[in-house]
Structure 1
Amino acid sequence: MNKKLFYRKSNKSGASVTALVIVITMLILLFSLLGSCANSPDDNEAADLKIFTTLFVLYDFSHSIAGDWASVNMLLPAGVDIHAYEPTPQDIILLNQADLFIYNGGSSEAWVDRLLESEEVNPKNTLRMMDFVELREETDSGIIEQDEDHGHVHGLMDEHIWTSPPNAIAMSTAIKDKLIEIDQTNKNIYEDNFNVLQAELNAVHEKFLAVVKAGSRDFIVVADRFPLIYFTAEYGLNYYAAYEACAAEAEPAPRTVTTLIELVIEKDVPYIFTIEFSNERLADQISKESGAEKLLFHTVHNLTQKEIDQGITYVGLMQKNADNLEKALADE
């Protein structure tokens, strides 16, 4: 009897344990199913979106808006000037695998127009940034060394549109809208990410406005190429520069060196600007003869690999530009 009672009690305990195991297993399965329905980049088809851009600035905006929901890649190798870039056959293959190809447009990217005309790239998958801002013609006003020496074609629209933060907002808006068009599922994510980026770009814009308003000078001197017409026009700045925006880098004419040295001395200019990837030889000459110090104005068209690895962004570099501009416009 005792054995039977003991046996039956054991049976009941075993049944309870078995039921508990079943319940736990069902709960695990349930949570697994719920987890599989969660909105995560690894499981969502949107994570498979492939975006290619030409310039770093376009890569940066795309990555900020898409986040982990797309693979964003830059065609332009780190540290390479866009004026010297031509796509390889492998690059063209990658473009045809992309869900979206974002390029700037302009003379430096004429190769894109050739690919589109020859139907080597699908136009439906492309986004041209110069279509979304008010364009300005390239100018030789304020340029010391005219481009007869460099064989540049006049009458073209200046392509350096992103140097104006309001233009950067317009470009980012276009990227956001295109992402939503091809991936409605993650519309809210793209809009939220864009709103964060827009707030940062607006803050940079307000900082430049404040710096220019407080400045004692209304002009800058650029001892380099001048890809800043959209920037100076946006903030009402005058300028003197050595070369036009797309001029080939070459030894400056003696007249250019002399004119800029005399200008800097006459106007008592404490700082002169260079742009990224410059050899700075002209700026060094002017600095040596005039005593003016060099400052960088980074146009953010491309970065070095080290800068990319450090996570440097358009917003961060433009904030540094604002700091340097504040120095250049101050009454020292």
Structure 2
Amino acid sequence: MKKIIKLIPLMLILVLALTSCQKNAENSGKPKVYTSFYAMYDFTKTIGGDDIDLTNIVPTGTEPHDFEPTASDMAKLSEADIFIYNGVGMESWADKIIETLPQNVKVICTSEQIPTDGNDPHIWLSPQNAKLQMQAICNVLSEVDSKNAQNYINRLDSYLTQIDEVDTEYKNAELDGKTIFVTHGAYSYLCNDYGMKQVALEGVTGDSDPSPSQMAKVVDQIKSEGISCIFYDPLEGDKMAQAVANEADIQALPLYTFEGDSESRDYVTVMKANLEELKKGI
């Protein structure tokens, strides 16, 4: 009995400590910002830094196209100050969520002012588009949290310089006129920026596998054009790419869509990695 009595104060202390931590988090004064998936999360983290309380909705390693928010996700999002998403059909679930959000939640579609290319939502794979998306994020953070606006602007300016450097590296890589074979048709904006053409085994959402006849046709084209590799998005896996590579006797190389990243890398790092893979494969 004595042991139980001694434990009660300790349990009370723990409860009070947890309650205190919870209240401190709630009263931090930082804007509560939610992002739809990894690219939007990374852009927002880069600009927001420690001045925001940031949460990403789609778990790392999950395809944003396939994701379905839970009731818990929707409840948390209703308490946000800002919700940031890509649009252009990237998050098929976003429209449902937005309709249910309270009016005080600021909703920003980062692709709103960007010309789109057909049905491809992967607009951030163009460095110029990524800059526009980051500017939109900076604008909303500065509007909602004006006291830290200069911090957001400074971080944006610093990062835009890095993106411009990456853009220059791509332009100097002699990619113009090259054709890339990919499993996932997600690279139209990247190709448009640097004069490349993509041939894809499957559509932009990757929700259907190509038929045997489609696979055979691509393999024949690869052989006839002397293509040395096929690119795949590591988030989807390399099974399809390896099947084509084995049949055509070429290599399979990763080309990241930045929908998610297992190493939690930033945009500039991944775009540089993509350039190195492109140089190997074309």
Question: Do both proteins adopt the same fold according to a TM-score greater than 0.5, normalized to the shorter chain?
Answer: yes
1:248 aligned residue:
207
**Is there any run of 5+ residues in structure 1 with no aligned partner, and where?**
1-41, 139-157
Name the SS for the 1:299 alignment partner: coil
Quick one: distance in 2 between partners of 1:285 and 1:109? 29
Query: Does structure 2 retain, via aligned residues, the 8 Å contact 1:116–1:123?
Result: no
1:63 aligned residue:
45
Quick one: distance in 1 between partners of 2:224 and 2:126? 30
Identity %: 25
2:224 is equivalent to residue 266 of structure 1: yes
Matches within 5 A, 1:11-160: 48-117=30-99, 119-122=100-103, 124-138=105-119, 158-160=120-122
Query: Does structure 2 retain, via aligned residues, the 8 Å contact 1:180–1:187?
Result: yes
Superposed displacement of residue 112, structure 1 = 2.0
Name the SS for the 1:92 alignment partner: helix
**Is there any run of 5+ residues in structure 2 with no aligned partner, and where?**
1-23
Superposed displacement of residue 184, structure 1 = 1.2
1:221 aligned residue:
181
Quick one: distance in 2 between partners of 1:47 and 1:324? 43
Name the SS for the 1:48 alignment partner: coil
Name the SS for the 1:303 alignment partner: coil
Question: 1:183 pairs with 126, 133, 145, which one?
Answer: 145
Superposed displacement of residue 317, structure 1 = 0.7
Name the SS for the 2:227 alignment partner: coil
Quick one: distance in 1 between partners of 2:114 and 2:177? 28
Name the SS for the 2:69 alignment partner: coil
Question: TM-score when scaled to structure 1?
Answer: 0.73
Quick one: distance in 2 between partners of 1:130 and 1:216? 26
1:26 aligned residue:
none
Query: Does structure 2 retain, via aligned residues, the 8 Å contact 1:270–1:328?
Result: yes
- Judge which range, 277-286 or 318-327, deviates more: 277-286
Query: Does structure 1 retain, via aligned residues, the 8 Å contact 2:235–2:260?
Result: no
- Quickly say closer, same or farther: Cα 1:105–1:122, change in 2 above 3 A: farther
Superposed displacement of residue 110, structure 1 = 3.1
Name the SS for the 2:226 alignment partner: coil
- Quickly say closer, same or farther: Cα 1:134–1:178, change in 2 above 3 A: same
- Quickly say closer, same or farther: Cα 1:191–1:279, change in 2 above 3 A: closer
Question: TM-score when scaled to structure 2?
Answer: 0.85
Name the SS for the 1:130 alignment partner: coil
Quick one: distance in 2 between partners of 1:227 and 1:114? 24
Question: 1:164 pairs with 126, 134, 142, which one?
Answer: 126
Quick one: distance in 2 between partners of 1:202 and 1:72? 26
State the AA in 2 paired with 1:115.
I
Name the SS for the 1:93 alignment partner: helix
Question: 2:255 pairs with 278, 288, 297, which one?
Answer: 297
Name the SS for the 2:76 alignment partner: helix
More helix by share: 1
